[in-house]
Amino acid sequence: MQDTTAPAAPSPPPPAVRAGCAGRAGGQDLVFRRFADVSVIAQHPAFEVKDADWFDTHRPGWRQSPGMRLFATSSLFHNGVSHQRLRKVMAPAFGPARLRDLAATVRTTIERLLDRLGALPHGDVIDLHALFTLPVTLSTGCALIGLPDEHGPFVYEQVQPLLALLDPEAGSATLVRANRAANLLKPYLERLIVERRARPVGDLASLVAVGLGADEAASALTLALAASFDTTTTLLDQAITALLAAPERAAVACGQATAVDAAISEALRLAAPVQLLTRVARQEMTVGGVRVTAGQEVTALIAAAHRDPEHYLEPDAFRPARPPGRLLTFGGGTHYCLGAQLARLEASLALPAVLRRFPRMAAAGPPRPNDRVTLRGWMELPVVLGR
């Protein structure tokens, strides 16, 4: 079991109707699943995220919840000018120069982890999620923000209950766990922010410490931790699993750039780390022939859209050779994920490296999924490495 004591501060969708939507037009439960419709909802400025004003109206008392206050005040829940302001502060941490620096860290981490795997007894069943994919993303996320590697397990354990708040049916037990986690995580981040404000060093923690208020900075770092860890780990888990049985495995292991990029994109399509998004219509709209009224909530199923037979040939098959196309995995419009290129970078380095080091690696049983809906991924990935 992970030690969750805070370290000291560091130096399935409903049935679809013909329009691809389930629910009542004019009600509060519209669910869209066709690629064309989900794409509109993800990108059109008429559809906004639920922000503090929405929560004040529909979830009164949310500000008294430490978990909601820490997570739901991040840029993920801002619109318009306030969202742009938060995003502008964070953006340099994901720019080309910073990605080049992080690439060196990712390579070093990958080689260290692969050496450890190589030292394990031949033929043993191991959990590749626990021993490789998750540690890669933990190390990268810590480097992005400016945390020591050894603090990765602590922050990871506190972020998990907060992510469960994104699920559509998150209940009171989820909120209790999220509050408990926030009460541990926020003081840790506040100490880091105070330190970086006094002595900025160019990492994401320094950017938000200097550019944002204390509460905003803590929320920004919480979001960065969540995005850095879970979504990229899911990408790696799913891509490795698919490639173990795919003819493209050899090309990816050889590091052929086109093959690697295609495998990453197909993994992002077939098993999107973010399964759905919710939006609120700012004005009346018609989507896929369905009328959406102003103020109405809609759910857009990214996972279903990525398997839309009207958009993809053989949508349930892993086919990296399919013609490249736009994905909805990283959202769209003003809320397009800042960390998209970092996630692709990690995958482009990790996939060839692990397949090249263990060319006979094989699945050793079904993966064990987590119990979340929105950020659905795996908790265990059993494999036999081979040699």
- 315 and 307 Cβ atoms separated by less than 8 Å: yes
CA distance 384 to 387: 9
Q: What pLDDT, on a 0 to 100 scale, did the predictor assign at position 15?
A: 35
Q: Give the closest residue to 155 by CA, choosing from 165, 141, 136.
A: 141
Block residue for tokens 């008392």: 61
Q: Where are the alpha helices (DSSP H) in the chain?
A: 35-43, 52-58, 66-71, 80-90, 96-118, 128, 134-145, 152-163, 172-198, 204-211, 214-226, 232-244, 249-253, 257-270, 302-305, 340-357
- 316 and 339 Cβ atoms separated by less than 8 Å: no
Q: What pLDDT, on a 0 to 100 scale, did the predictor assign at position 28?
A: 56
Q: What pLDDT, on a 0 to 100 scale, did the predictor assign at position 168?
A: 85
- 292 and 233 Cβ atoms separated by less than 8 Å: no
Residue type, 108: T
Cα of 52 vs its chain's centroid, Å: 22
Q: Give the closest residue to 269 by CA, choosing from 350, 330, 333, 335.
A: 330
Q: What pLDDT, on a 0 to 100 scale, did the predictor assign at position 20?
A: 56
Q: What pLDDT, on a 0 to 100 scale, did the predictor assign at position 21?
A: 58
pLDDT digits (tens, 9 = 90+) for 225-247: 988 889 999 999 999 999 999 99
Q: What pLDDT, on a 0 to 100 scale, did the predictor assign at position 371?
A: 84
| Residues of the chain scoring pLDDT < 50 | 1-19, 24-27
Q: What pLDDT, on a 0 to 100 scale, did the predictor assign at position 22?
A: 57
Residue 343 vs residues 49, 154, 228, 236, 279: alpha-carbon distances, Å: 23, 21, 8, 9, 24
Give this prediction's pTM.
0.91
Q: Which two tokens stand for residue 350?
A: 């990790």
Residue 234 vs residues 165, 274, 280, 380: alpha-carbon distances, Å: 18, 9, 27, 11
